Amino acid sequence: MSETFSSPLYQGLPAAAVAHADERTSATRTSFFFLCLFTVAIYARPEDIFPSVGRLHLTFLLGACTGLAYLGAWLSGKASFIDSRPLRLMMWLTFWFVLGLPFAYWRGGSFQVLTGTWFKTLLVFFLLTQTLTTLSRIRVVLWAVILSELAVTAYSILDPSRSMWVGDRLSGVSKGFLGWNFLGIAAALTTPYILALFITRPSILKSIVLASATAAVSWMLILTASRSGIMTFLLSVLLSSILVLKRSALGKFVALGVITAVLLAIAAAPGVFWQRIQTIWSQSAPTSLVSASADASEQERRAVLMDSITYTLQNPLFGLGLGNFSVARGTTTGVPSGWLGTHNSFTELSSEAGLPALLIFLALLGSSIRRMWRLAKADTATQEDVQLNRMARATLASLMAFVFGAFFAHIAYEYFLYYPVAIGVGLEYVHRTAPRQSVSTAAAPVFDCRDLVRVRNI
């Protein structure tokens, strides 16, 4: 599939604008191709399934190829820089992280997080905002994420002997974002997009793949018995039903099907799930080792939350340094259980990078949510506008679900939140550059799973 600005959809633009936009799309094609492969590498983490792949250092290799390809396009003058408020806020956040480095509790550890985690996140975010310039590209990236989640969760369920277990709880084969307590946030971030794709030009193949991804992720989430993960996922389903599915007859049918499937999955959940979930509302004495473990986990999280607030008040300007909360707390307490993260992305930033970093992060989230809200309410004169509006609503639901899930996991420096933020930047760019014309003459691009094999031509 080759999406250029010479199609009827772009008629009415000045010839110079058409030529420039077409040139930019072509110039960033290679960078976008490697970006999709990089997305698969960080989500699916094939090295966790095939250890020999780890020797290839795929994330470094593909990240370098993505960056170099874009740099070449930019130096040639064919790919102009796309500015955005979220990107500027990310740069301010980076500036504050660097500024606080000399004041870190453990400067070496803070430097490792800054260069080994955050700079990669910043690079990925930058490249996403510079290459997600069409709806087709946004859909391709989403398919890369969805198929990666399907592969990892299905493999973990179908071959449990290769997965990690904590007692009777499945941790999964992935050591990254698709394992353990992070899975609930991953599912919550992706579910709105899955449902948006479900009702956008549905086909049998696409419907089967999306339904399989939803079922695999949901069932694995049940097997992890993560209380915060379940709550975050259910909130995402609710928000998606209201914001994405409610506006169409097919969407209402899909919402009913998803809610029914979730209820059936919960009804079939193993005992460990129910023993942990009931501790959310039951304050009685633990009746089993599982419930006792759940209560202990809750007490630990309450303790690290209070400690993170204390460290924030003690170091309000620059914090302890990136990644230093567990180090400082473990050293202070002198016990193995003291080496825990904050389990809260907001206090992770405030305690490790100071209150200014937290304020910038909140501005990033608030700005992204506000901009998607405006885009979700924009007029839908063409079929292209309808699809754009639906993706904006899905992004809004994804970001709102993250805000809730971020209270239960410390992932402020990781890639995964910044995908929906970058998708929002891409949607704004498409809305800003696409001409308005009547529905009868609009030629909305159609995406199908088979387009993934032709991603080089996008």
The CA-to-CA distance between both ends of the chain, in Å, stands at 6
Number of separate helices (H) and strands (E) present in the chain = 19, 2
Q: Is residue 44 part of a domain?
A: no
Q: Is residue 53 part of a domain?
A: no
- Helix ranges (H only) for 199-335 are 204-224, 227-240, 249-267, 271-277, 289-314, 325-333
Which amino acid is located at 407 in the chain? F
Q: Is residue 324 part of a domain?
A: yes
**48 vs 44: CA distance, rounded Å:** 9
Q: Domain total for the chain?
A: 1
Which amino acid is located at 355 in the chain? L
Q: Is residue 292 part of a domain?
A: yes
SS3 label, residue 7: coil
Mean pLDDT of each 10-residue bin along the chain, 458 residues long: 39 48 74 95 90 89 94 89 95 97 94 94 95 94 95 88 72 75 89 94 89 91 87 94 86 85 85 80 59 64 90 96 93 78 93 97 96 89 85 96 92 91 95 61 42 46
Which range of residues forms the domain containing residue 94?
86-457
DSSP state of 242: I
Contact 12, 435 (CB under 8 A): yes
Contact 191, 240 (CB under 8 A): yes
What global pTM score does this model have? 0.87
Q: Is residue 423 part of a domain?
A: yes
User: With 0-12 CB in 10 A as exposed, 13-18 as middle and 19+ as buried, what is 28?
Assistant: buried
How confident is the model at residue 295, as a pLDDT?
60
Contact 415, 121 (CB under 8 A): yes
SS3 label, residue 164: strand
Token duo for residue 285: 């004495």
Q: Is residue 227 part of a domain?
A: yes
**393 vs 192: CA distance, rounded Å:** 8
List, as one string, the DSSP characters of 185-230: HHHHHHHHHHHHHHTSS--HHHHHHHHHHHHHHHHHHHHHT-HHHH
CA distances from 443 to 3, 13, 115, 210 (A): 11, 15, 44, 25
Q: Is residue 238 part of a domain?
A: yes
Quickly tell me which residue has 């885009």 as its tokens: 375
Q: Is residue 189 part of a domain?
A: yes
Contact 207, 449 (CB under 8 A): no
